[in-house]
Structure 1
Amino acid sequence: MNVNDYKIEGKKEIKLKDYPTSEDHGFSQEELLNHHIPESVSKLKDLHWRLHADEKKGIVVVLQAMDAAGKDEAISYIFSNLNAQGLKTTSFQKPSDTERNHDYLWRIREGLPERGQVGILNRSHYEDVIAPRVHDLLEEGTIPDDKDEHEVWEMRYRQINDFERYLVENGFEVVKFFFNMSKGEQKNRLLERMKNPKKNWEFSFSDVEEREHWDSYQHIFEDMLNNTSTEYAPWHILPADDEWYSRYIITKTMIECLEKIDPQFPEISEENRKKLNEYIEKLENE
C-alpha cells in the first residue's frame, strides 16, 4: 500500500466523486484482521512509546466525516491500543454558550496534545466551516464588518491553514483523515444501529435529520478539502465503506508520520550511567 494514493497533494483541485468509497485493494478481511492491522498497530505502538519518551514533538490527528462513517471505531480499534499517557482524545459537539462567546478556534485548544502526545480530534475546527454553512448558522457578530457572509468561508479557510501551519512550525504534525462514505452505506449502518438493541445507544435522531442535507454536505466537504489540504497538513481521503481497510490506511499513515519524526528513547548521561550501575549492584546484593 502507498498511503500517498489517498493523500490530496497541495494545490490539486479534486472532485469527491473521483475518490471511491470502496476499492479492490487485494486484501481479504481475514488478512487485514489477523495479519496486516495487528502488525501495523504493533509497530505504531513502538513508535508512539518513543514519541512519548522523547517529548520533543506531538501529533494532531483530525477525523472528519458524516455520521456513521467510522471515526469512533477507528479510535477504538487503532488508537486505543496506544499508551494512554501519550494519548489525548477530544470529541467536539455543538458549541456551548461559553464557546460561542469566544473565537471559533478557542475551544480547539483544549484538545491539542502536549509534546510526546498524539491528540485526536473527533470532529474538529472544521465543524465551523461545515455545519454553520449547511444550516446558515452564522451569527451576526461573527461576520467582520468588511466581509459579507460568502467571504467568511474563504477567510476561515485561510485562518485554519495559518493555525495548522503554526502548529507544524512549533513541532506538532497535523494529520487529517476524511472518511469518504457512500449514501447507501450510511443508510445500512444507520438502520443497523436503529434495529439492533445493542447498538441503539450509538444512534441519534439527528443522524437521519442531517442525512437530508447529504448533497449540501458533499459540496461543502469538497470545497473544504480543496481549500485546506496543504503541503504541511494534507488531507487523506479514506474509502470509508470498507471500514477495516480504512483503519489499515490510518495506521500506515500514522507510522509514516512517526517515522518522519524519528523519535528516540532518551540516552542516559555518562554520570547517571555510573550511578545507575551502582544502584543495580546495590539492589542485586540486597
Structure 2
Amino acid sequence: MISIDLNDFKITSKINLKDQPTKINVDVDEDTVKDELKSVRKKLGKLQDTLYAHGKYSVLICLQGMDTSGKDSLIREVFKDFNVRGVEVHSFKVPTELELKHDYLWRHYIALPARGKFGVFNRTHYENVLVTRVHPYYIMSENIPGIDDVSKIDDAFWDKRYEQINNFEKHIAENGTIIFKFFLNLSKGEQKYRLLRRLNKQEKNWKFSSGDLKERKLWDKYQDCYEEVLNRSSKPHAPWYNIPADDKPVARYLVAKILYDTLSAYSDIEEPVLPDDEKANINLYKQQLENEN
C-alpha cells in the first residue's frame, strides 16, 4: 500500500516551482506501484461507467509538461480500463488555418467532453500563455484587432488572457464540468536522459525532433511561465496538481489516485434507477421474453 497525502500535490497557494519536487520516494518497489495503479484504474473505470449512466457531469483532465514529461504514456496507462465510448483524448498542436479563424479558446470549447464523458487535453488552452509567452511572435498569426506588432503584446495583454482562461474554466465548472489540471514536473536532467534514449533506441527515433533541443535551451524561461500559470490559475473549481514526473509509474499512479479519490467523493454521482412503474413490472417483462416463440 502506497502511503501519501494527495493534498500535498495540489497547488493551493503561491509556490516557487524550484521548490516543487520532480521525484518522490513512495517506499515501495516499481512492481508494487504498477499493481496499485492497476487496482485504482479498474475502480476508476467502473466509476466512469457510473458517470456515463448518470449523465449530468463531465470530467476534463488537462495535462501539461515539458517535452518527454510522459503525457502520452500516462494517458495510455491511466485510462486503459475505460470504456472507449466514455473517454476522448485531444492533442492540441499548432493551430490549423480553420482554428486561427476563431479566437484561441474556440478549439478547446468544441473539444470539451459531453455530459457523462471524460475528456483528456494533451497540452491544453494553457499553451496560449506558455509557448506563446516564450515565443510571442506566434500571437501575430491570430490576427487579433489592435495587435499588429509584437511590441503591443504587453503585460496587460497577458493579464487579459489569464482572465479569459480563468473565466472559461469557471463557466464550464458552473455548468457541470469537473476540472483536473496536472503539471507533469520533469527535471532538466531527466529530460536529457529521455531525449538521449530517443536517439539511442532506433524504435524511439521517430519521437525525436531537432526542435526539442531548441526548446530545451529555453528551459528556464518555460519554467518561469509554468510557475506563473500554476500561481495565477489554480482555483478551487479548477485546481492544478504538481505531479513529480521523473518516475513515470509513480506519476501515473498519482494522477489515477487523485482522479478516483476526488470523483468518488461526489455522493450524487450514481447510476439511475428504473421508475417505480417499470420496476414493478420487471417479472412481467422477463416472462414475456421467456415465453417468446
**Which residue of 1 is the match for residue 280 of structure 2?**
274
Identical-residue share of aligned pairs (%): 40
Contact 1:111-1:120 at 8 Å conserved across structures: no
Contact 1:179-1:237 at 8 Å conserved across structures: yes
1:38: Cα distance to partner?
1.2
* Separation of aligned partners in 2, 1:110 and 1:206: 29
**Which residue of 1 is the match for residue 236 of structure 2?**
231
1:158: Cα distance to partner?
1.1
* Separation of aligned partners in 1, 2:146 and 2:257: 41
One-letter amino acid matched to 1:152: F
Given the alignment, which residue of 154, 162, 183 partners 2:159? 154
1:198: Cα distance to partner?
1.5
* Separation of aligned partners in 2, 1:31 and 1:182: 24
* Separation of aligned partners in 1, 2:174 and 2:146: 28
| Secondary structure of the structure 2 residue equivalent to 1:43 | helix
**Which residue of 2 is the match for residue 101 of structure 1?**
101
1:28: Cα distance to partner?
1.5
**Which residue of 1 is the match for residue 11 of structure 2?**
8
Given the alignment, which residue of 210, 216, 221 partners 1:211? 216
**Which residue of 2 is the match for residue 142 of structure 1?**
144
Q: Which runs of 4+ in 1 moved over 4 A?
A: none
Contact 2:136-2:153 at 8 Å conserved across structures: no
Given the alignment, which residue of 271, 274, 290 partners 1:284? 290
**Which residue of 1 is the match for residue 87 of structure 2?**
87
**Which residue of 1 is the match for residue 34 of structure 2?**
33
- Could you say if the C-alpha distance between residues 79 and 195 of structure 1 is closer, same or farther in structure 2, counting changes exceeding 3 Å? same
Given the alignment, which residue of 198, 201, 206 partners 2:203? 198
1:144: Cα distance to partner?
5.1
1:148: Cα distance to partner?
5.0
TM-score for both structures, normalised by structure 1: 0.94
Contact 1:143-1:152 at 8 Å conserved across structures: no
Contact 2:182-2:240 at 8 Å conserved across structures: yes
1:285: Cα distance to partner?
4.0
Contact 1:176-1:233 at 8 Å conserved across structures: yes
* Aligned residue-pair number: 282
**Which residue of 2 is the match for residue 77 of structure 1?**
77
| Secondary structure of the structure 2 residue equivalent to 1:133 | helix
- Could you say if the C-alpha distance between residues 205 and 176 of structure 1 is closer, same or farther in structure 2, counting changes exceeding 3 Å? same
1:73: Cα distance to partner?
0.7
Q: Render the CA deviation track for 1:86-142: whole Å, top value 9, x for unaligned.
A: 111100001112212211101102320000001000001001111111112222843
* Separation of aligned partners in 2, 1:252 and 1:260: 12
One-letter amino acid matched to 1:270: D
Contact 1:61-1:176 at 8 Å conserved across structures: yes
* Separation of aligned partners in 2, 1:177 and 1:161: 16
One-letter amino acid matched to 1:208: L
**Which residue of 1 is the match for residue 183 of structure 2?**
178
- Where structure 2 has 5 or more consecutive residues not aligned to the other structure, the ranges are none
1:75: Cα distance to partner?
0.4
